């Protein structure tokens, strides 16, 4: 285990800030989309809106630059935890920009989320790209198995979302949206490790395979994540969607660190990691409980004459 690079940590935080600002702009556009356009030609309508495109640009432009820099300096295990600090901006911005209100349970959920990711950050699970070296066959096999497991969880959440309605559906969509971003995070470091040898003409066939898979995974998962989040915004506010999608994004890197890269942690990490994960999950349950209560109230109103 190595010391946390402060520049890498700052870049991860800035990536979270860009994502949060982008999410606020995207959510505002979705909220102002007419009801008749939320079913037919929903994505074409969003693609014609400059504010929605600006929100996507903030996430994929500056956000991508900062996250790639952070990945090269501190690796994939810590980056998602540090980027979650953007939830503070998201919570405040949702109230000011979208007219959303946070009750006490939701505020507590966001506080627990921030505390949880802070504990994960202090666990110092850093994997600098210079320490990984050339991607080997055993590491690639473990990474593919890890990818298959996350893809199965992703599919399960999408199936549950289809069976739900209103805000609970938005909750399941938000959780499912976290899995493609977790996959993108997992394949970013292999891209960074292999890109130099590929363009330098020194890559072997294995490096070319890893590079090709990494490029395909980063493009496809980010596009899938963006689309799923837009669907979640139709049923739940941004102040709930963004914290809930952090659950798979924060827990998956822990498995990536120990199971895929097979790194070892300190005694402090053995305490901080489960505590951080527990706080993140507790945060998700608080936010999910709130959406369930709102859904029950809506059903009573619809049933009343």
With bands split at pLDDT 50, 70 and 90, how would you rate the model's confidence at 271? confident
Instruction: Give the angle subtended at the CA of 81 by the CAs of 194 and 77, to the nearest 5°.
Output: 35
With bands split at pLDDT 50, 70 and 90, how would you rate the model's confidence at 298? very low
Mean pLDDT (the chain, rounded): 77
pLDDT of the residue at 133: 58
| Tokens (6 digits) for 250 | 């924060």
| Tokens (6 digits) for 295 | 């859904």
With bands split at pLDDT 50, 70 and 90, how would you rate the model's confidence at 3? low
Q: What is the C-alpha to C-alpha distance for residues 185 and 278, in angstroms, rounded to an integer? A: 21
With bands split at pLDDT 50, 70 and 90, how would you rate the model's confidence at 40? low
% the chain with pLDDT above 70: 77
pTM of the model: 0.69
Q: What is the C-alpha to C-alpha distance for residues 28 and 237, in angstroms, rounded to an integer? A: 10
pLDDT of the residue at 134: 59
Q: What is the C-alpha to C-alpha distance for residues 73 and 59, in angstroms, rounded to an integer? A: 20
List Cβ neighbours of 186 (8 Å cut-off, separation of 6 or more): 76, 143, 146, 147, 150, 252, 253, 256, 260
List Cβ neighbours of 211 (8 Å cut-off, separation of 6 or more): 190, 191, 194, 195, 198, 203
Q: What is the C-alpha to C-alpha distance for residues 94 and 20, in angstroms, rounded to an integer? A: 10
Q: How crowded is residue 143: how many other Cβ atoms within 10 Å of its Cβ?
A: 23
Q: Please, are residues 288 and 172 in contact by the beta-carbon 8 Å criterion? A: no
Answer with the residue of higher pLDDT: 42 or 144: 144
């Amino acid at each position: 285990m190595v010391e946390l690079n402060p520049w890498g940590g700052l870049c991860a935080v800035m990536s979270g800030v860009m994502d949060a600002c982008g999410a606020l702009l995207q959510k505002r556009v979705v909220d102002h989309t007419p009801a008749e356009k939320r079913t037919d030609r929903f994505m074409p309508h969003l693609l014609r809106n400059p504010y929605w495109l600006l929100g996507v640009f903030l996430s994929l432009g500056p956000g991508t630059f900062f996250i790639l820099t952070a990945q090269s300096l501190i690796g994939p295990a810590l980056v998602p935890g540090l980027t979650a600090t953007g939830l503070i901006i998201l919570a405040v911005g949702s109230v000011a920009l979208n007219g959303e209100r946070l009750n006490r349970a939701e505020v507590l959920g966001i506080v627990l989320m921030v505390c949880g990711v802070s504990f994960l950050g202090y666990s110092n699970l850093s994997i600098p790209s210079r320490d990984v070296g050339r991607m080997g066959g055993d590491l690639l096999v473990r990474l593919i198995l890890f990818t298959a497991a996350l893809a199965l969880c992703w599919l399960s959440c999408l199936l549950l979302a289809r069976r739900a309605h209103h805000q609970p559906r938005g909750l399941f969509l938000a959780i499912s949206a976290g899995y493609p971003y977790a996959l993108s995070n997992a394949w970013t470091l292999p891209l960074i490790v292999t890109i130099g040898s590929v363009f330098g003409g020194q890559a072997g066939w294995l490096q070319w395979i890893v590079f090709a898979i990494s490029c395909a995974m980063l493009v496809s998962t980010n596009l899938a994540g963006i689309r799923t989040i837009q669907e979640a915004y139709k049923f739940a506010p941004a102040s709930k969607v963004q914290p809930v999608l952090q659950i798979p994004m924060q827990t998956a890197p822990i498995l990536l660190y120990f199971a895929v890269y097979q790194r070892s942690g300190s005694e402090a990490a053995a305490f901080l990691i489960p505590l951080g994960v527990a706080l993140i999950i507790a945060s998700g349950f608080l936010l999910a409980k709130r959406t369930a209560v709102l859904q029950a109230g809506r059903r009573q109103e619809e049933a009343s004459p």
